[in-house]
Amino acid sequence: MPLPPTMVYPIQSPRFEVTRAYVSEFWLALYSTVTYVQTDNVFYMTSPVYPDYQGWIVMNPNFWQWSSNHYTLDHMVQYAYKKDTPSSPEESIGIRILYYYDRDLGRKAIYVSTVPPEVNYKLLLPEATRPYWCPNGEGVVP
């Protein structure tokens, strides 16, 4: 069965473009009754209050891994869906997404939230695994 279409509501324009290399954090905001387990770019959500609830937010794997590519907000979340009971069909979760710059920390983040957010989790995105700007291995990763 195909997954339901993802409902992404960008705060900036859907075509707002972000260079992945400049973004270091991923902020996930959820209901206070929801917990999550992360495996790479997949966030699996459950709730002790609603034991049958299951939810998934799947980030675009190309965006999740470090690169110098550009992505628009409407292409960062690949899937966002839930099941209220094991036998119920998958339903789309409404997701808000925005690019955020924290002036105090000098960090740039992608903020993804369920509606309305109650708890914020701040995670570091994967960094470059080798000196990117200097192919011969000299220099530092930006």
Chain segment 67-117, per-residue pLDDT in tens: 889 999 888 999 999 999 888 999 988 888 888 887 777 778 888 888 677
What is the distance in angstroms between the CA of the first residue and the CA of the last residue of the chain?
43
Q: What does the pLDDT read at residue 2?
A: 65
DSSP code of 136?
T
- Position 2 in a domain: no
- Position 22 in a domain: yes
pTM recorded for the entire structure:
0.84
Q: What does the pLDDT read at residue 31?
A: 86
Domains in the chain: how many in total? Answer: 1
Within the chain, what is the greatest distance between any pair of CA atoms? 55
List the beta bridge partners of residue 108.
101
- Position 115 in a domain: yes
Q: What's the pLDDT tens digit per position in 19-76?
A: 998 899 999 988 888 899 999 999 999 999 999 999 999 999 999 999 889 999 888 9
Counting Cα atoms < 13 Å in the Cβ hemisphere of 115 gives: 12
- Sign of the dihedral through C-alpha 8, 9, 14, 16: negative
